[in-house]
Amino acid sequence: MTLKLGDTAPDFEQQSTEGSIHFHQWLCNSWGVLFSHPADFTPVCTTELGLTAKLKEEFGKRNVKVIALSVDPVESHHRWVEDINDTQNTRVNFPILADADRKVSELYDMIHPNANATQTVRSVFVIDPAKKIRLTLTYPASTGRNFDELLRVIDSLQLTDNHLVATPANWHRGDDVVIVPSLQDEEEIRRRFPSGYKAVRPYLRLTPSPESAGH
């Protein structure tokens, strides 16, 4: 099953380090980040899960719930969590799915046979409160994920959902944004963007971020 942007994230029920998870019910009205790991006790994953725990406050500010997955059983997960806490100087504060039967991995197409026939690739799914997939990323097993980029994309998605703007290359929260080309009515533009805008080209109009401008 190949999932595309805008598709409904498949629902599932699976065991985890925090008990049975019914995914859509667990997400409730939050955004979600679902990300997979090739196996327990792998070095890069250990650093990723430790960093995720340390970023709990940042995810919380954005109304984001985080959930990880590995194809090892829950007993192994619990032992691994002890290692993560010890080596990364943190406390894992989110569930890790125990996908030993590959149910979730297959639903989300996380096993790529040309990479590895049994282990999941480093998949990432950002899911909005309507349970729609808004971002997919796939990393090779040797490369740790960039969590600053995940937070940046979530900031962009949440901003652009609420305002008629897009975010330019390398944008970060507070930077100028682009007025979408479909918005052409000058009266509406003045109402929506009272700080004004700079027209670099008719189709490229930069304006202060609505959030940083206080509207």
Measured distance CA(120)–CA(98) in Å, rounded: 12
Distance (Å, whole) CA 98 – CA 104:
9
Cα dist. 92→28, 78, 80 in Å? 21, 10, 10
* Catalytic center residues: 45
Q: Which tokens hold the place of 103?
A: 């149910």
* Spatial distance between the Cα atoms of 24 and 106, rounded to a whole number of angstroms: 17
How is residue 110 written in tokens? 């996380």
Least Cα distance to 191 among 206, 204, 171, 210 occurs for: 210
